[in-house]
């Protein structure tokens, strides 16, 4: 229960924000919305609003959907000729499929964009009211014969960038090294007021994270220490907080895309790919440390949800956007049978991904 309750709260929030993005733009453009569901399966409870939308919570809290008037599912698209014959003039105004292409595209894209916006707002709130660590990354010790030692790093060097990414905090060093996918890591340091560059090949070791979870970690063999043993946590102005929030969202997005690319080319460890069980476990572990860590993990999950939904896979928002791109090129939507064929492919891909991620989760908790 310590894991389940925080996980359910997190999923409810990020899914609601995602679906509300679709809902908001649908209502703005006059599309009828029959259902707004958090979760799948049998309804637990719900209510109807004055416009006829059924708001409901369902038993399986692993997603949600907004169903439009006249559609068989979230964004299904019947042939427009059939729709024109079936509905009267008043109902046609509420049909999603008869809206201009740009409006349909905005409605679909609004879900993932809402997730990115939620992450930006969370990070901005944290940076403004709790602060962001801005402690310089000073090397206190270089381990003998380590990759850093061999490359030439020395005590008192200040790490200022890793792989071209500026280091604003001592806490970023480990993150940038761990998420790097290249064989060599490019490190720039400030030594005696001079900038020096080094190429370092990190070691990959099996270890435990701060919560006791097994991970493969890239190490270069340095120990960092803040000046005078004091961390410098600054409360940022709104503009600066937004800037660093955008930077954090971009970092997570680009790193995730690079990791997925490397999985396909065989240069990344696919065992690090997790699913709902691992997310629930980590969420529960983080929630024990307070509201701010919980909000942070919510922001990261929100980014992941938004990004995954933009993948050009049928059944996901990105798949529908891909269909609209084809419609723009052809001047007409794809035929229903063609779309259904792609939906089957997308369903197979999603189930395969879910199976693989769940298998990794079960290995992580020792079942396999």
Q: For the packed helices 101-129 and 4-28, what is the interaxial angle rounded to 10 degrees?
A: 140
* Contact between residue 278 and residue 360 where contact means Cβ atoms under 8 Å apart: yes
Q: What is the C-alpha to C-alpha distance for residues 111 and 109, in angstroms, rounded to an integer?
A: 6
User: Residue 29: what are its φ and ψ, rounded to 5°?
Assistant: -100, 15
User: Residue 215: what are its φ and ψ, rounded to 5°?
Assistant: -145, 155
Q: What is the pLDDT of residue 4?
A: 80
> Which CATH superfamily does the domain covering 133-234 fall into?
PDZ domain (2.30.42.10)
DSSP lists the bridge partners of residue 142 as 222
Question: Whose CA is closest to 273, among 368, 362, 174, 173?
Answer: 362
Q: What is the pLDDT of residue 75?
A: 41
Q: What is the C-alpha to C-alpha distance for residues 43 and 65, in angstroms, rounded to an integer?
A: 13
Q: What is the pLDDT of residue 17?
A: 97
Q: What is the C-alpha to C-alpha distance for residues 7 and 230, in angstroms, rounded to an integer?
A: 34
- SS3 label, residue 349: helix
The model's pLDDT over 179-214, given as tens digits with 9 standing for 90+, comes to: 887 788 999 999 999 999 999 999 888 777 666 666
Residues marked as catalytic: 19
Q: What is the C-alpha to C-alpha distance for residues 196 and 159, in angstroms, rounded to an integer?
A: 10
Question: What is the bridge-based pairing of β-strands 203-208 and 214-219?
Answer: antiparallel
Question: Whose CA is closest to 18, among 116, 152, 155?
Answer: 116
N-to-C CA span, the chain: 23
pTM, full prediction: 0.87
- Between CA 335 and CA 342, with CA 338 as vertex, the angle to 5 degrees is 140
> Please, how many CA atoms are within 13 Å of residue 357, restricted to the half-sphere of its CB?
15
248 token code pair: 């954090």
pLDDT tens by residue, the chain, 368 residues? 567 888 888 999 999 999 999 999 999 999 999 999 998 899 999 999 999 999 999 988 778 999 998 775 434 444 566 666 777 878 888 888 888 999 999 999 999 999 999 999 999 999 999 999 999 999 999 999 999 999 999 999 999 999 989 999 998 998 888 888 778 899 999 999 999 999 999 988 877 766 666 677 888 999 998 887 788 899 999 999 999 999 999 999 998 888 888 777 776 666 666 676 777 777 888 888 889 999 999 999 999 999 999 998 888 899 889 989 988 898 877 777 787 788 788 878 877 877 777 766 666 655 55
The model's pLDDT over 295-307, given as tens digits with 9 standing for 90+, comes to: 999 999 999 999 9
Q: Residue 215: left (phi > 0), alpha (psi -120 to 50), or beta?
A: beta
Q: What is the pLDDT of residue 175?
A: 86
> What are the sequence ranges of the domains in the chain?
4-129+303-364, 133-234
Q: What is the C-alpha to C-alpha distance for residues 331 and 259, in angstroms, rounded to an integer?
A: 36
Q: What is the pLDDT of residue 204?
A: 84
34 token code pair: 């029959």
Question: Whose CA is closest to 61, among 42, 46, 34?
Answer: 42
């Amino acid at each position: 229960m310590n894991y389940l309750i925080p996980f359910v709260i997190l999923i409810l929030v990020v899914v609601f924000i995602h679906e509300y993005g679709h809902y908001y733009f649908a209502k703005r453009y006059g599309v009828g919305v029959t259902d707004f569901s958090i979760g799948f399966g049998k309804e637990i409870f719900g209510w109807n609003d004055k416009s006829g939308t059924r708001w409901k919570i369902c038993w399986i809290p692993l997603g949600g959907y907004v169903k439009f008037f006249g559609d068989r599912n979230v964004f299904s698209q019947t042939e427009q000729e059939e729709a024109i014959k079936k509905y009267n003039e008043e109902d046609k105004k509420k049909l999603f499929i008869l809206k201009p292409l740009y409006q349909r595209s905005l409605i679909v894209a609004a879900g993932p964009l809402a997730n990115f916006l939620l992450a930006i707002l969370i990070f901005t709130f944290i940076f403004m009211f709790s602060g962001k660590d801005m402690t310089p990354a000073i090397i206190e010790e270089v381990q003998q014969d380590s990759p850093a030692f061999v490359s030439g790093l020395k005590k008192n060097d200040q790490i200022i960038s890793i792989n071209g990414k500026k280091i604003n905090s001592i806490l970023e060093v480990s993150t940038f090294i761990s998420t790097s996918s290249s064989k060599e890591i490019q490190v720039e340091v400030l030594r005696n007021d001079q900038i020096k560059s080094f190429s370092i090949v990190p070691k990959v070791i099996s270890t435990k994270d701060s919560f006791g979870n097994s991970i493969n970690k890239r190490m270069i063999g340095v120990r960092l220490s803040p000046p005078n043993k004091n961390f410098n946590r600054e409360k940022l102005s709104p503009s600066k907080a937004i800037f660093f929030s955008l930077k954090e969202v971009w970092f997570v997005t680009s790193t995730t895309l690079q990791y997925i690319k490397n999985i396909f080319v065989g240069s990344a460890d696919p065992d690090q790919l997790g699913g709902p069980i691992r997310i629930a476990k980590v969420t529960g572990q983080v929630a024990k440390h307070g509201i701010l860590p919980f909000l942070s993990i919510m922001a990261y999950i929100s980014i992941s949800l938004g990004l995954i939904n933009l993948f050009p896979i049928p059944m996901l928002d990105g798949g529908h956007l891909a269909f609209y791109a084809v419609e723009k090129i052809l001047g007409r939507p794809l035929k229903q049978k063609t779309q259904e064929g792609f939906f089957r492919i997308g369903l197979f891909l999603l189930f395969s991904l879910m199976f693989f991620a769940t298998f990794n989760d079960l290995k992580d908790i020792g079942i396999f």
